[in-house]
């Protein structure tokens, strides 16, 4: 990825993680789309970044309120420690959890910051497993 020089090489390599009850083609397409963004010039993916699904954002899944993505460090302990042992060409590989979010959650993050959104997730009991039909927690 084309990361800013001040970030260092520890952010140069990432693997994207999406926790789902059962993988479906649309989940793989979502992962592929995010991975393709990382190869765009002057683009990089990192903790706290958000990606709307178009302008204005449209649903990621049929009948869903989820219309954007938030990138977070993985929350599952075994995955969180994989980066301690995994390298690619000498660079550590980080894992980012793709969290589909609603337009209201995206607005909350943009207006009040990531901590406010994370607090809403904690209070609402956001599961690490994707629920395409979950309501907004904002």
Which of the four pLDDT bands, split at 50, 70 and 90, describes residue 9? low
pLDDT at 14: 76
Of the two residues 3 and 122, the one the predictor is more confident about is 122
Buried b (16+ CB within 10 A) or exposed e, 80-98: eeebeeeeeeeebbbbbbb
pLDDT at 129: 95
pLDDT digits (tens, 9 = 90+) for 48-72: 999 999 888 999 999 999 999 999 9
pLDDT digits (tens, 9 = 90+) for 91-129: 666 788 999 999 999 999 999 999 999 999 999 999 999
The burial of 122, by beta-carbon neighbours within 10 Å (0-12 exposed, 13-18 middle, 19 or more buried), is given as: exposed
CA 137 – CA 135 distance, rounded (Å): 6
Buried b (16+ CB within 10 A) or exposed e, 30-48: bbeebeeebeeeeebbeee
Of the two residues 5 and 94, the one the predictor is more confident about is 94
The percent of residues above 70 in pLDDT, for the chain, comes to 77
Whether residue 71 contacts residue 101, with contact meaning beta carbons closer than 8 Å, is answered with: no
Nearest to 101 by CA among 53, 55, 37: 53
Nearest to 36 by CA among 58, 50, 19, 16: 16
Handedness of CA 15, 21, 23, 27 (dihedral sign): negative
pLDDT at 74: 79
């Amino acid at each position: 990825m084309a990361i800013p020089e001040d970030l260092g090489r520890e952010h140069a390599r990432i693997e994207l993680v999406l926790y789902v009850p059962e993988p479906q083609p649309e989940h793989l397409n979502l992962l592929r789309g995010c991975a393709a963004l990382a190869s765009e010039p002057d683009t990089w993916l990192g903790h706290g970044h958000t990606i709307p699904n178009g302008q204005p954002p449209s649903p990621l899944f049929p009948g869903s309120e989820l219309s954007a993505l938030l990138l977070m460090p993985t929350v599952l302990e075994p995955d969180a420690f994989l980066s301690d042992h995994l390298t690619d060409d000498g660079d550590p590989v980080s894992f980012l959890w793709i969290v589909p979010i609603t337009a209201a959650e995206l607005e909350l993050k943009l207006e009040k910051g990531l901590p406010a959104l994370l607090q809403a997730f904690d209070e609402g009991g956001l599961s690490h497993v994707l629920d395409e039909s979950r309501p907004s927690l904002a």
